Amino acid sequence: MIIGQINMLSQAETITIEGVNFSIAQVKDILDRLPEKSWLATKSDEFLDNTIFFHEGDVQLPVLRLGELPTWSLGYFIIGDVKVGRIIEATDDLAIMGLIVDGNLEADHIRAGGNEIYISGDLQVNGLFFGKHNLGTITVEGDNHANAFMSDDYSGWLESNWALTDDECFDDEQISDEEYHEACVEILEAIRPEFLYEQEEADEPFLWAQLLDYYKIEKAMKHNAPILQDSFIEEHQIQFLNDPVEYQKAELPADFVVNTVANIHNELSTKEVEALAKAVTGLSHDHIFVPEALYNDDHGLSVKFLEGYPERLFLEFIAVRSEYQGELPHNIQMGMNGEALKAQFGDRYTEETFEEYEDSAQGTITLDDLVIALLLENDAVTFVKYQISEN
């Protein structure tokens, strides 16, 4: 990985995202343009000096990622009609990045987390609107419709052919076994089985949402893969895109983690970060923003950036699970036992058993520039995390 110069986007006046030019405006400069009832207008005193991506005119985008904006942007403010060809996505439930559309919005899918969304006109969701997190809200001043609507502690309501919300299924504490069973039946009829946990795998029944595998649902939405049962789609005449985006499993070289850890202290260029995102996820990121944390279950690999990204393009840690087949730095191997680690690292290695899990232990290797955390299960390493040392 070649180290390059950082691109300070916060110093630019405009930015191009998915082929659309946005102005980087301070809230105080667009106050008079904000819809009076929008979430930002009601909180503007708190964010006058913050920036937001502003565009005036109709917009057509293949994807709008609310969960991948840098911390210095509050989100998007668009004056005009917006058509999102694939999905509006919030990959982080606690994301504060929001969306304001002073016009109409049409989308194929919306996955919202802790995002605030305001639409002054009409909203049409051709497929699934899935809201998850109690910090998230959606407000639509005009007509609204989603072919399928699911809400897990999310604030707002959309008219829909089919809906399942927590308000219908449980109170603040718990629901009865009968109510839980009824909700489960609805989910089983609507959602494809690959996106559900088995009922016996769920925690003590009090939330129907515990049956949903959120990671797999979000991954399917990224690729336009159908989430609802074919019979359910036909019955409710739900419209989905006909051509799912084919997922290409990333081919990582055996020394991928070794080389990446070697650069963990170095400043990375934006192109390098995009290349890293593509390598880890197998997806092409055709704009500057990539998630703060990148995950790839197929390779048992995750990467996280330092807070403040992209102002400072530094890796914070690289975590590797047992599925990863490549080489690891410092001659660590998956499956190593505690005795082998002690023999190799001496007093730099410490180990502590979890009280609640007798068959598991936390191992720590302290080096000059890195702290390596390990999880040992039945005295075999199943997880390794390389992180910047605070010293």
Cβ 67 vs Cβ 113: under 8 Å = yes
CB 27 within 8 A of CB 51: yes
Interval 177-198 mean pLDDT: 76
Helix (H) or strand (E) segment spanning residue 325: none
- pLDDT score at 388: 85
Band (pLDDT 50/70/90 cuts) for residue 79 is very high
Query: What pLDDT score does 211 carry?
Result: 75
CB of 3 within 8 A of CB of 269?
A: yes
Helix (H) or strand (E) holding 234: helix 230-236
pTM of the entire predicted model: 0.61
Please give the residue that has the higher pLDDT: either 129 or 292.
Answer: 129
Please tell me which of 54-63, 210-219, 300-309 the model is most confident about, judged by mean pLDDT.
54-63
Mean pLDDT within 149-168:
69
With 90 as the cut, is the pLDDT of residue 104 above it? Answer: yes
What pLDDT is recorded for position 91? 54
Q: How far is CA 144 from CA 121, 138, 149, in A?
A: 9, 11, 11
Phi-psi region of 67 (alpha: psi -120 to 50; beta: other; left: phi over 0): alpha
Q: How many CB atoms lie within 10 A of CB 128?
A: 28
- Residues 243-253 have a mean pLDDT of 67
* The two structure tokens encoding residue 321: 């699970």
pLDDT averaged over the chain?
Answer: 78
Would the pLDDT of 4 be above 50? no
**Which pLDDT belongs to residue 2?**
29
Residue 57 has pLDDT above 80, yes or no: yes
Q: How confident is the model at residue 3 (pLDDT cuts 50, 70, 90)?
A: very low
Is residue 76 within 8 A of residue 22, CB to CB? The reply is yes
Beta-bridge mates of residue 95: none
**Position with higher pLDDT, 28 vs 214:** 28
Q: Is the pLDDT of residue 275 over 90?
A: no
Contact status, residue 65 vs residue 89, Cβ threshold 8 Å: yes
| Residue 72 or residue 186, greater confidence | 186
Q: What ranges do the domains of the chain cover?
A: 9-236, 256-388
Span 103-130, average pLDDT: 87
pLDDT at 129: 84
Percent of the chain at pLDDT exceeding 70 = 73
DSSP label of 155: B
77 touches 34 (CB < 8 A): yes
Cβ atoms of residues 39 and 301 within 8 Å = no
From CA 211, how far away is CA 200, in angstroms rounded? 10
